[in-house]
Every structure is written in C-alpha cells, then in structure tokens.
Chains A and B, each alone.
Chain A
C-alpha cells in the first residue's frame, strides 16, 4: 500500500463525481484520440464510400467519390458470387464452437504443475507465431496429393479411393482450409483461457476432487461456468474472425475450387484490390454487409452467454 496518508472521504460509488469523470477521461484520452483518428474517422469515411461510386476510372482521373445511394447494395445482392461468398462465411462459423471447446480443453490440460508443461504450452503456441505465408507453404505440402496427410492416412489404410488432393476437391477444400484456421487458432485461445483459468480458486477444484467429481464433470460444472467471461470474449473474437476469414483462403485456394472457399471478405478484398479496376464503393458496401452480420452475431453471442447465466434482460 502507499505511504501517503492524506485522508479522503470515501466516495459513494453510485453518485456522479466530477473528479472521477475528469480522471476517467484523462485516462481514456490517448486511446480515444488514437481511435478517433485512425479507426472511427476512416470507418466513417469507408461507410460513406459504400454509398458512392468510387474506383478505377474516377480515381485515376482524380475525381471525388460520387453519391449513388443504395446502388452498390443492389449490385451486391444481384451478384451470385457475393451471395455464395456470404453463405460460405456463415458456414465457416462451424469452426467457432469446436475451436473454443478444444482450446479450453487444451488450456485445462496444460494448466497443471507437471513436468514439461512449459514446453507443451510453448509448442502449442508455435502455430500462432507462424506467419500465414509460412503456414500456407507448410499446409500446402501437407495437403498435397503426395503430401503427409495422404501418407499418414494411406499408412492407416484409410484411403479406399487412393490419395486425395485435399485442396482441389469441392468436397474437401472448405474443410481443409478450416482445419488450418483451427490449427492457427487453438494456441491463441488456449493462452487467453490460461489467463482466465488462474482466476479459478484452486480450493474449488480440490473440493470437487474430494467430492469425487470426474475430470469431465469438473470441466463442465466448474471450469466452464467460472470461465464465462473469457469464453464470451473468445467466442466473440472467434466468431468475428471466422466471419472475416481471408488469409487462409487467399494463400491456400484463392477461393476455389468452384468458389467453394470464396468467403465474404475475399469478395471485399478482390473488389478493393483487383488492381486498376478496383471498386472501393462496392467493396465498402460489401464490407458494411459483413459488418452488419458480424454485429448481429456479436449481440447474439452476448445474449446467449447472459441468458445462460440467468441474468438475461
């Protein structure tokens, strides 16, 4: 504690206080200034672009964006590729519950003072520190028709129809890409869960052990309920990340085969970055649609966890 002995009247926490307010905004100032400058302002501008015609030719000739109302959104919803891509992104959400449960389970697995735990934690984090370009190269080799996955499965006699080009088939590419997302993600969420797990009092765990609760029961009845705030954070992050998945697709399949891995962000990306024919207006509009879906899912996420907590509105 501090040595300062100025006596201050304890403030009631419920009433308005100038001191608290000024103090709060002083603390928030750096973040708010930076966010306004580099996040909100460009976001507002980007949203505005969604209602304008702005790209290639206009840009090249130095013309400003031209307001065209909801024209971009009409174009989007008439474009089968956009609808496919949005559908694929929503389908990609399948990865979220699997990834979260697995990450939490792995966190529990390494959250023990046993020999080698430091090593395991570090090793599980290796995929997270791997840059996407290296990950792409490695998984490309794994999924290749002559790659490791076929070698392992072949050795186990699990390939009745011979080697499979995992990234080349419409039926497998989507899941193959998703496995890479899972691989890149579980170490990340594991660390977040580990940070949360140390908030669970050990006595609780010990008491349950004395009560004869199995590991399975302890996981569901102590760990999961106690970890709710962290689970909320992680599934929120994971949902948004899944909806906005791009890098894996870009480097592994480029949206193919037959657009089966073409995600919404891939659409945004290709419209915004397709060289000199780029269309910032359409890309921004597509980005807005993705944002609306993400926002809806986030609200749903909060609701889900609040209500199962018994504190629902």
Chain B
C-alpha cells in the first residue's frame, strides 16, 4: 500500500514534470533544418505541403527547408565545420556510405525502432543504407537502372528490329540500328564522374564484383569478354563518343529528343524531359519492360534521409525523416513524378495497377511497385572516390584502345585491392 502510494506519487510527479516540459516545448518549438537535393523548384509544392502536414502533426517542431544542388556535399561538410549542421539531409547511397564511413552520420536504428524500419521498407532498400551492420539512412524515393525501355518506334522499324527483350538482344542489334538509321541504338552507362556504373553491367550478367573475402574480383575471363563486347562497339563508332564524358542518362535524353538515339533504358523520369523538349516524339514513344542481363535481375538506386552526428535535435530529425519516407508520403510523391517508392506497402498500391495509354502513366505502373529491385549491385568500397576514378580511367583507356580490356580490368583490380580501405 505504501509502496503503491509512493509509485502513484512518483507517477504523478513524473506526469506533472513531463506535462510542464511539454508545455514549455510547445511555447518554444524546436527548429530543425532539412536539406533536399536537386528538388527545388520543380517539387516545391510537394515538399512544402508535406512539411506543413508534418508541422501540423508535430506542433512542437518547426522545419526550415533548403534545397541544395551541386554543392550539397561541400555545404554539408562546411556546415558541420561551422557548427550549424542540418538535422535531416537527403543523400544517395554512395554519399551515405562515404559520410557514414567518415563518421558524419548517426545510425538511425538507434532513433527509430529497427522493427519499424523493417516493416516499413523492403529488406534490400534498407540494406542499401546499412553500413557495417548499422542502418544510416531512411530509404527515400528510388529509381531503377533498367526500369523501363522507351523507344522511338519509327527508328526501330527503319532498322528492321523489334524491341530487345534482354541485353544480349540489345547488344546484337546495336550495329543494325546505327547502320540503317544513323541513330545510336542506346547509350550505355560506360563512365560517370562520381561512380563506377559499368560495374552494374557485370552484376546484371551475374558476374561477381567482390570475391568471398571482400577483394575486388571483376577480372575473370567472363568480365573481360563483356567489356570486350562494349569496347568493340565503341571502337566501331556504334556508341556515342560523348558517353565517355557525360553521364549516360543525361546524354540519352538529350539525343533521344533529337531522334539521334533509338532507345533509352532507365527510369521513367526521362519521359518528363522528353515531354518538355519534344512533345510529338513523346506521344509516339513506346514504353515496355526493360531488357535485363543474363542474371535476369534489375539494378537500381535510391535516395535516403540521413541524420548528421552534429545534429542538435536527432529525435525530432528522426521524426521528420520517418514522416517523409513513410509509405503515404512516398506514394504522394510517386503521383507527381514517376519515382519508385522504397516502402514495402507500395507494391500493393492500386495506383500502380492502373492501365493507361499515356507513356508516363504506363511507365509508372510498370516500375512503381518494383522497389524491391532497388539494388546498385555492389557495396560501396571504402575510399570509393579514388577507386571509382581508377576504374573509370581504366574503362576509358580500354574504350580508347590504350589498354586491352584484360589489362584494364587487371590493373583496376590490383589497384582496388591495394587501395581499398575498410
């Protein structure tokens, strides 16, 4: 009885204090800084509405939103340096890995219950943001590298081919398309400034990137043969030269709108651009399932929301990140732009089951529910900038005939294994 009374008093005291605390907090809302990446001004209404909804549900939290562009990472580092770190930051898989490896990020499984994370997201999308056994980001909107195949039916007809059903067919028709139409068949991701996209082709064909002990191992005869295939096409002038200098997706959308490339393999977001720059071609464009490599798997990537170690309000930040990445809000986003939600519940959403003749709507239905395939295909290595640069340089050397494909891959593998940091 005495004990129960004491408990009761304690309980009352506790509730009194906490009640007092919460009113104090209500009077002085916590302001958190939220950075997105390349989303303004196109998606201003979506972001602002979502923030407003969040603030309404959490009256004690004020969100200050900024959109960062090319200097995102520099600004992030600088702001940490200056003591004004943002609380929620939108990063991709690569940058999240680098930031986490360098101690910039807080593990989010300490802020949101791991069980909640596991039920909200697909296992793989969560795995993409798991570094050293800890989750460092809330998976956000994603895209598939082989999301859909878009093609210009006139060009394919002229070339006398039908849409490729797999990558073997695609590689086989490259010559015919170029020779008969003058347009390139498609733009492969040979090289990109900040990544190692060609590794994705190995993964697609079921070829390993690392061996069992975590060493780079992409120099088997099968790897070399695949690279050889691309090198031959490049040397023959069947792939655009610019593909070594520009990001493939960028180049593909540019050339497609000018009738200079027949097909695009990628996320449906290319369609938005084509709709803007060449509406009549957009109307003709056919959307179908993407050709896959021998392994029959998709690859893809997603954005995530991370919480910096330097954030002063991690609990509030976690709330915002969880809110933005939850199924409802990702679905709302998918209705504005054809992204692929990384939330498991999205695969059963009726929105992705609609049938339509509009290319964008059709593409959305094709890819929207396939978030489980979002997987870059390889883990980001430590020291990735130097390793990626070395890989890209070697791919380029092979394309330009400075090295044989075997030399190029052997050199890269030995460089990777000497310089990879754990």
Contact = CB atoms under 8 A, between A and B. Distances in A.
- Asked if A and B touch directly (CB within 8 angstroms), the answer is yes
B400 A276 contact: no
Size bin of chain A's contact surface:
20 to 34
Given A59-B77, A60-B309, A277-B384, A145 B241 contact: yes
25 contacts: A56-B98, A56-B101, A56-B102, A57-B102, A57-B103, A59-B80, A60-B99, A60-B102, A60-B104, A145-B241, A165-B241, A167-B245, A168-B241, A168-B242, A170-B400, A257-B244, A257-B400, A258-B397, A258-B402, A259-B393, A273-B73, A275-B73, A275-B194, A275-B385, A276-B77
B58 to A, nearest CB: 29
Interface in A203-227: none
B245 A254 contact: yes
B244 A277 contact: no
Contact of B396 (A61, A145, A258, A276): A258
A253 B73 contact: no
A65 interface: no
Interface residues of B, number: 29
Given A59-B77, A258-B393, A275 B244 contact: no
Nearest to B99: A276
Nearest to A273: B74
B95 interface: yes
B214 interface: no
A170 B95 CA distance: 31
Contacts of B402: 258
A276 B309 CA distance: 14
Query: Which of A56, A60, A61, A258 has the most chain B CB within a 10 Å cutoff?
Result: A60
Interface of B: 73-74, 77, 80-81, 95, 98-99, 101-104, 193-194, 241-242, 244-245, 309, 383-386, 389, 393, 396-397, 400, 402
Given A168-B245, A276-B73, A277-B386, 7 more contacts: A57-B101, A60-B99, A144-B242, A145-B242, A168-B242, A259-B393, A277-B98
Contacts of B102: 56-57, 59-60, 276-277
B235 to A, nearest CB: 13
Interface residues of B, dominant DSSP = helix
Contacts of A257: 244-245, 396, 400
Interface in A60-90: 60-61
B383 A277 contact: yes
Contacts of B99: 60, 275-276
B291 to A, nearest CB: 27
Contacts of A39: none
A277 B102 CA distance: 7
B416 to A, nearest CB: 15
Residue from the set A59, A168, A275 with the largest chain B CB neighbour count within 10 Å: A275
Contacts of B104: 60, 276
B83 to A, nearest CB: 11
A287 to B, nearest CB: 17
A246 to B, nearest CB: 15
B64 to A, nearest CB: 23
Contacts of B241: 145, 165, 168
